[in-house]
Structure 1
């Protein structure tokens, strides 16, 4: 927030306004901050000059915020919180030394993202011990803290059963695609609506080996709701086997966009026009989780946030996703 002259808000002005809001007077705000009353008043007057409008209504009984003051105070809370977090993260990262994270991920994400993730966090002094498993065991491992972080996925209505002290960060919204043989009657469509999808109840389907996989559950339940039971002809988690079976006209199935490459001979991939058919890719980690530090530094970060190392991991995952979607950007 700046004036027309380019002057910028001083963080002390926001601190003074926040203290007055909490304490109800300039005098009590000064005591809470450890500042003199004239110092608090000085910063508030400068803030009012910068904005061009009063931020306080002053009386003998104390001070209350004007509507403009409330707006600035609300925005100021966000700014001060971000400033505190930036300082805390920078200090934590500087003191962390070299850290090692036990990081679990499902295989298709590992194939597309893991090399980029590892390279990025290595530059920050973070080493990755990678574990490749399906979602259910990953959930169990992050719940019992045998993993420092895990990359999972869920779909609407099928949230993963994480403990309350596990914090999740969405790193990708990943559409599910219908995979068909190229000579299938629906292959000519540019997208598949729900009615067209439900017309496939007599087809032979390929699903994953885990019977509680949320990607498969949303499909099976969509058909069950309309009185149809899918014929599951094959179960496999091998992506190449899946493509081969579909290209041969033996089955049809769902493919997450993250797993799909640009072309697959004999197979067409069509988006599904239904928001239920998209998975949320999440980074899950204990709040205040601990990275195993080597050398100086390390330790736990409190609050409802994962450790600094895990937050750096989340940023690296997002960047790896962006690179996978737009390779030229790298």
Structure 2
């Protein structure tokens, strides 16, 4: 069985570039580091290091071991930290990531609900791309993400996702636009807007923008992306000024936005799935009890946001 100290030694060599510097960074003696690395060699049946006079680098076998080992070390550190938190404060702590529009609408209610269950939330607000990376390297316990039909998130296969909301995308137009009086638009009407100036998110790989680009590309059109921003108030201001049009998710919208009209799109492709991603407690199993309680709190927060009087 792998000893955690073997993984710690391997990680330190990868970071420092030599066994001597790895020993110094760990506060161990060099023979101790060599001992654990040689035991790891024997355990896997191959050398994990390529040693030269200039230093040491990981072999392909060593890279593979460390890639898996990083998850083990991260989970071990978190298990100790969570156990200490529970022992000292009587509370469990969840590192929870969410994209900003969901945080603005849902996070206060989520935090309040899980606090009553003895769960403390450490919130991380990022766009979807960085959140996926954090989930893949296990630096978050759970994350609220979104995807659109036909565009899977690049999550590791062992992560479990649960849909907590189907969030329609709305066509956002200035009040004076010729289509502003419509109660809804179909795909053909949407595609007629190919000569408009569009507003997209700041990132080049935002799933919402991707579904729009691909829909227009399928009809032989390339969009003029005039402005890119993730600032919701900037989006509204630019649309209200008649500078651009765009799509906004219903979750992000409020009851009214002066100068802006939001119109539903009659096409199921123009909706995003809001997902809670988390690792299972065991291979092939469900997420932890705390994460399942978090999912229930998210669903309740969604219901309250859609029907405030019922909350």
The answer as to 2:223 corresponding to 1:242 is: no
The answer as to 2:302 corresponding to 1:309 is: no
Task: Give the structure 1 partner of residue 17 of structure 2.
Answer: none
Task: Give the structure 2 partner of residue 153 of structure 1.
Answer: 146
* Cα separation, 1, equivalents of 2:255 and 2:110: 22
* Cα separation, 1, equivalents of 2:185 and 2:154: 30
The answer as to 2:294 corresponding to 1:277 is: no
- Segments of structure 2 that go 5 or more residues without pairing to the other structure are 1-85
* Cα separation, 2, equivalents of 1:217 and 1:251: 18
Deviation at 1:302, TM superposition (A): 6.1
Task: Give the structure 1 partner of residue 310 of structure 2.
Answer: 329
SS, match of residue 121 in structure 2: strand
Return the match for 1:98 from 83, 91, 94: 91
Deviation at 1:320, TM superposition (A): 0.2
* Cα separation, 1, equivalents of 2:216 and 2:308: 37
What's the TM-score once normalised by structure 1's chain length? 0.67
* Cα separation, 1, equivalents of 2:91 and 2:255: 38
* Cα separation, 2, equivalents of 1:269 and 1:159: 27
* Cα separation, 2, equivalents of 1:177 and 1:303: 37
Deviation at 1:113, TM superposition (A): 0.2
Alpha-carbon displacement from aligned partner over 1:99-123 (angstroms, at most 9, x marks no partner): 1000000000000000000000000
Native 8 Å contact 2:158 2:283 kept in 1: no
* Cα separation, 2, equivalents of 1:320 and 1:130: 16
* Cα separation, 2, equivalents of 1:198 and 1:273: 12
Deviation at 1:303, TM superposition (A): 4.5
Aligned 1:1-330 pairs, distance under 5 A: 97-288=90-281, 303-330=284-311
User: Larger radius of gyration, structure 1 or 2?
Assistant: 1
Alpha-carbon displacement from aligned partner over 1:268-315 (angstroms, at most 9, x marks no partner): 000000000000000000111xxxxxxxxxxxx664211110000000
* Cα separation, 1, equivalents of 2:218 and 2:163: 28
Deviation at 1:178, TM superposition (A): 0.2
What's the TM-score once normalised by structure 2's chain length? 0.71
After the TM superposition, which parts of structure 1 deviate over 6 Å for at least 4 consecutive aligned residues? none
Native 8 Å contact 2:160 2:278 kept in 1: yes
Alpha-carbon displacement from aligned partner over 1:24-82 (angstroms, at most 9, x marks no partner): xxxxxxxxxxxxxxxxxxxxxxxxxxxxxxxxxxxxxxxxxxxxxxxxxxxxxxxxxxx
Native 8 Å contact 2:158 2:284 kept in 1: no
SS, match of residue 187 in structure 1: coil
* Cα separation, 2, equivalents of 1:128 and 1:266: 37
- Segments of structure 1 that go 5 or more residues without pairing to the other structure are 1-94, 289-300
Deviation at 1:188, TM superposition (A): 1.0
Task: Give the structure 1 partner of residue 66 of structure 2.
Answer: none
* Cα separation, 2, equivalents of 1:165 and 1:118: 26
* Cα separation, 1, equivalents of 2:156 and 2:188: 37
